Amino acid sequence: MSQNSNLFLSVGKPVKDEYGRTIGKIASFAVTPSGKFDAVFVELGDGKFMKRSSEHLKFDGVDITLLSEIKASASILCDQIPLLWRKDQALKDLSDKKKIPKELYSELHNSFDGALAQLKSEAQALKQQIDDETARCEEEIKALNYALVNLEIEHAIGKIDNQYYDTSFAIIQENIKRVHMERDDLELTKSKVSNILLGDVVKTDEAKNRALEGSKGSSLSVASGLPDPPVVVYVKEIGKTGI
């Protein structure tokens, strides 16, 4: 979101999610001492308030959209996890080439490893959150289809005239489309996070395999540099009396 000195002019305007559903309206903003917009306060339809980072706001003319927090978190994790892994690998390469002291390598490696473990834990938690939201979408789709079937039945037996039927049908179909879009987005986001975690496991296994192969190569190299074992000839001792 670009910083705008007139951002407070959007107070009272409706806010929608990425799928076109109205969430509520902008109530206010939190501003840092330096004048940067830090957070937005949204009044929801039920009168409750929600605080989100102002970076999640998207302005498109008169339309204001609040971007998905799950997708934003996933995007950050998908950037940071590979970056940390590459940094740790670069650090190991420097250590292998004797360009940094072992003590410094251990300290930095532990730091990277701890940060990476934390990010992977957050990614797993995010996947669970995505699963929960996906399950919610499935329940909404089921409920909307149930409503659609009941609408068709009531219309078929003449209890609902065409005008109300058309209005209700359009509302239900539009919401089914939006929930399907949200569910598909969630599944795609989970796939990206899973691939990042899987990629990290594969890279770690590859690194271990390279280290193992290097160790074997070193052992073979050392073994090939050793002298051939001496040939021992056993001579049968002949008694003094002979035969």
For residue 209, name the pLDDT band (cuts at 50, 70, 90). Answer: low
| Domain limit, last residue, from 67, 84, 108 | 67
- Mean pLDDT, residues 83-100: 93
Band (pLDDT 50/70/90 cuts) for residue 222 is very low
Alpha helices in the chain (DSSP H): 69-96, 102-156, 162-224
CATH of the domain at 44: 2.30.30.240
If asked whether residues 63 and 170 sit together in one domain, one would say no
Give the pLDDT of residue 200.
Answer: 58
Taking the C-alpha atoms of 195, 200, 202 and 208 in order, what is their torsion angle to the nearest 10 degrees? 180
Residues 124 and 166 occupy one common structural domain = yes
For residues 121 and 193, give the distance between their C-alpha atoms in angstroms, rounded to a whole number.
12
184 and 97: one domain? yes
Tell whether the model's pLDDT for residue 35 goes beyond 70.
yes
Q: Are residues 37 and 131 part of one domain?
A: no
What mean pLDDT do residues 161-176 have? 96
Is residue 110 included in any domain, yes or no? yes
**Residue 223 — very low, low, confident or very high, per pLDDT cuts 50/70/90?**
very low
Domain around 30: 7-67
Q: Is residue 216 part of a domain?
A: no
Tokens 């359009």 identify what position? 170
Closest among 140, 139, 141, 165 to 152, alpha carbons compared: 165
Do both 113 and 184 map to the same domain? yes
**214 domain residue, yes or no:** no
pLDDT at site 45: 87
**35 or 215: which leads in pLDDT:** 35
- Residue 62, domain member (yes or no): yes
Please give the tally of structural domains in the chain.
2
